[in-house]
Chain A
């Protein structure tokens, strides 16, 4: 490399022109002309070329920087921010508490799992948090917090994080959770990784390694917050498994009254319209979903019948929504909902990555499709080839011969 401004540098003496770095680049930023040439407009500094080079000829050059050399002392707690919907704790909160417990034991010195509950008259929820694995509850109370305004939640979260220095803050990647976490991370001057699908603790550095899909699910990126604390992550719903509730579990509750001057949001909620269908699909234990191969809206009647026989819910791919066969709030995929049912039956869904990234945590996937090469069969444990309008009536008839199966998957929260 000729320019000294370049952030990836090549030692030409070590380079054997093997070109493996060029194959490793996912961004088309490397070309070959005598030596590897970098296009720094395309390069994202992902380091893949440096890692691949068998001769250690490439180096990521980071100028010395005193500001970043000071490692902030790591905290001894993992926080989970509790999000409520009309007095009920969202399922993702219990998933995060479970994940915080799994992360805790990956440290040499395990961390305490703390749930941060905000609101007023919410004491009745605290026992649920203990039951699902919380060690300690911070209950920040003020009547204004029941309004759930981004600005207020973020300033309370940032204020408490500065005072109590958690190592990690986990938030559900809901619409509200993402908005609050982004604002709080900016206030705290720390790193935030959105929409994580997996988390683990690096055994050496004990940093949180955050995994998230990017480029519409075509790539999986691992992200680390090296020297800033807390390490913040929003986590997709229905990806992490909850712990078995322990009804006897108890813990310590710390009540914190929040002063008025921390709650300065000037956003006024004029009306609040609720559609309840959305969360029943995320929570469903059986989902029957239709895609392009359903061909007509009338064929969705088969899906409704199958779903009601199995005590499940009906969803659809983006194509099904675009064609008007099913409403937008039932769309499953990157741009819709993530689901993790016990059983996912995909009918006439080809299985594009954008759809599959939202369903892969299902326990069992069954696919009905007339194309044996459809990508859905790379994910399905059971597959049947054929047109949905021929197979579904036969399947429904077979199931009707059995006993009534409604509600067998219903579980208590």
Chain B
């Protein structure tokens, strides 16, 4: 089994605060971490490897400092890390990111299972997993909550829907995105940490991956962020001094609807 887990470097969300004066995000001293969902994807890959053997490669696309999240993935059980980094990739949107990541798979040959977190906690788009699946013509299973069954040719998983759950079976290769319920992050031992710090990270850039530079980065991305704002709140609360008064208001609101 050849499994690839894609990791995104995201800011530790709890550190984000709004500056009460300037109404901007306070980002000084903000730490970066691996997207939490992605670590559950690593754990899912480890679960598969325990049964079927093989290799797990963690891949991230980002600035050179993003090698830290690959080491985090190695701590949780990935065998090696690949850092996809090029100044040409700066400003890539989800389409361009999916394009570059699908090129990584082409470069590596073929993966049996490509794992992603359900979504990233900073952008929340949930688009890159299905995007890579489409570019490679692999099937996609989004929002996996459990591995139900596993053999040499196919995987059966429990997948969340808006109405409940589906149990679905698909032959390899496949793209799977993982929910937090799928597994519990294991605790890290000293030798995991040692292995992660000693691993060498392979670097890949645009020319190695045979990427069409017109399709990546800010200039190649179909979408463009044209404005950023802090949500505005304007409201005057009417204060009530007694629950009975509140009851009257609720009755009035309901009467108006009649």
Binding site for B on A (CB under 8 A): 5, 7, 23-28, 40-42, 44-48, 62-63, 65, 67-68, 85, 150-151, 154, 174-176, 178-179, 182-187, 189-195, 209, 213-228, 265-276, 278-279, 310, 334, 342-343, 345, 353, 357, 364, 366-368, 377-385, 391-392, 394-395, 398-399, 401-402, 405, 408-409
Q: Say yes or no: A182 contacts B214, CB within 8 Å.
A: no
B16 interface residue per 8 A CB criterion: yes
Q: Report how far A166 CA is from B7 CA in the complex, Å.
A: 34
- Are the C-beta atoms of A380 and B164 separated by less than 8 Å? no
State A326–B6 Cα separation when bound (angstroms).
34
Contact across chains for B25 and A379 when beta carbons are under 8 A apart: no
> Is B237 touching A383 in the complex (CB atoms < 8 A)?
yes
CA distance A83 to B233 in the complex (A): 33
Q: Mark B127-158, 1 if CB is under 8 A from A, else 0.
A: 11111111100011111000000000000100
Collect the chain A residues with CB atoms within 8 Å of residue B134's CB: 154, 182-184, 186-187
- Nearest chain B residue, comparing its CB with the CB of A285: B257
With A214-B124, A399-B250 known to touch, is A269 a contact of B167 (CB < 8 Å)? yes
Q: Do A218 and B230 have beta carbons less than 8 Å apart?
A: yes
> Which B residues are CB-close (under 8 A) to A408?
254, 257-258
Contact between A150 and B258, CB atoms less than 8 A apart: no
Nearest CB of B to A99, in Å = 19
Q: Which residues of the other chain, A, contact B124 by a CB distance below 8 angstroms?
A: 194-195, 213-214, 216, 334
Q: With both chains docked as a complex, state the minimum distance between the C-beta of B61 and any C-beta of chain A, in angstroms.
A: 13
A42 to B141, CA, bound (A): 32
> Is the CB–CB distance between B169 and A268 below 8 Å?
yes
Per-residue contact bits, chain B 84-111, to A (CB 8 Å; 1 contact, 0 not): 0001001101110010000000000000
Q: How far is the CB of B135 from chain A (nearest CB, A)?
A: 6
B25 touches A26 (CB 8 A): yes
Number of inter-chain CB pairs below 8 Å: 284
- 30 pairs of residues in contact across A and B, judged by CB atoms under 8 Å: A7-B91, A24-B24, A25-B24, A28-B27, A47-B226, A48-B228, A85-B163, A154-B130, A175-B143, A182-B127, A182-B128, A192-B94, A192-B127, A194-B127, A216-B13, A224-B223, A227-B222, A269-B168, A273-B165, A273-B166, A343-B250, A357-B231, A367-B237, A381-B238, A384-B240, A384-B241, A391-B243, A394-B242, A398-B248, A399-B250
B1 CB-CB contact with A under 8 Å: no
Assess the B240–A267 pair: CB atoms within 8 A: no
Binary interface profile of B, 33-55, with partner A (CB < 8 Å = 1, else 0)? 00000000000000000000000
Interface contact B228-A380, CB-CB below 8 Å: no
Interface size on B, residues (CB 8 A): 88
Q: Is the CB of A379 within 8 A of B229?
A: no
Q: Is B185 an interface residue (CB 8 A)?
A: no
Given A68-B214, A182-B127, A276-B163, check contact A394 B223 (CB 8 Å).
no
B residues with a Cβ closer than 8 A to A are 13, 16, 18, 22, 24-28, 30, 63, 65, 87, 90-91, 93-95, 98, 121-135, 139-143, 156, 160-171, 214-215, 218-231, 233, 235, 237-244, 246-251, 253-254, 257-258
- CA gap between A74 and B93 in the complex, in Å: 22
| CB–CB A218/B25 < 8 A | yes
> Among A5, A186, A227, A310, which residue has its beta carbon within 8 angstroms of that of B95?
A186
Question: What is the bound-complex CA distance between A269 and B122, given in angstroms?
Answer: 32
With A62-B219, A214-B124 as contacts: A191 and B95 at CB distance below 8 Å: yes
Which B residues lie within 8 Å of A279 (CB)? 162-163
Instruction: Give chain A nearest CB distance to B15 CB in angstroms.
Output: 11
| Residue among A216, A227, A276 having the largest count of chain B Cβ atoms under 10 Å | A216
Q: Is the CB of A223 within 8 A of B163?
A: no
Closest Cβ of chain B to A145, distance in Å, is 16
A356 to chain B, nearest CB (A): 8
Specify which chain A residues have a CB less than 8 angstroms from the CB of B224 in the assembled complex.
223-226
Q: Which residues of chain A come closer than 8 Å to B253, judged between CB atoms?
A: 342-343, 364
Other-chain contact of A192, B223, B243, B250 (Cβ < 8 Å): B223
* Set A26, A68, A364: member contacting B24, Cβ < 8 A: A26
Chain A residues positioned under 8 Å from B125 (CB to CB) = 182, 194-195
Q: In the bound complex, how far is the Cα of B90 from the Cα of A256, in angstroms? A: 42
| Chain A residues near B222 (CB-CB < 8 A) | 189-191, 225-228
| Of the residues B28, B122, B220, contact of A215 by C-beta under 8 Å | B122
CA distance A52 to B171 in the complex (A): 53
Task: Compute how far the CA of A383 lies from the CA of B245 in the bound complex, rounded to whole angstroms.
Answer: 11
Q: Are A183 and B130 closer than 8 Å at their CB atoms?
A: yes
Nearest B residue to A63, CB-CB? B219
Please tell me if the beta carbons of B231 and A380 are within 8 angstroms of each other in the complex. Answer: no
The residue in chain B whose Cβ has the minimal distance to the Cβ of A227 is B222
Q: How far is the CA of A193 from the CA of B160 in the complex (A)?
A: 22
Question: Shortest beta-carbon distance, B22 to chain A, in Å?
Answer: 5
| Chain B residues within 8 Å of A193, by CB | 223
Chain A proximity of B238: nearest CB distance (Å): 5
B214 touches A45 (CB 8 A): no
Report chain B residues within 8 Å CB of A189: 95, 215, 222
A396 to B146, CA, bound (A): 42
Q: Report whether B225 and A270 are in contact in the complex, using a CB–CB cutoff of 8 Å.
A: no
Nearest-neighbour CB distance to chain A for B66, whole angstroms, equals: 9
Which residues from chain A contact B218 at a C-beta distance below 8 Å?
7, 45, 62
Chain B residues positioned under 8 Å from A24 (CB to CB) = 24
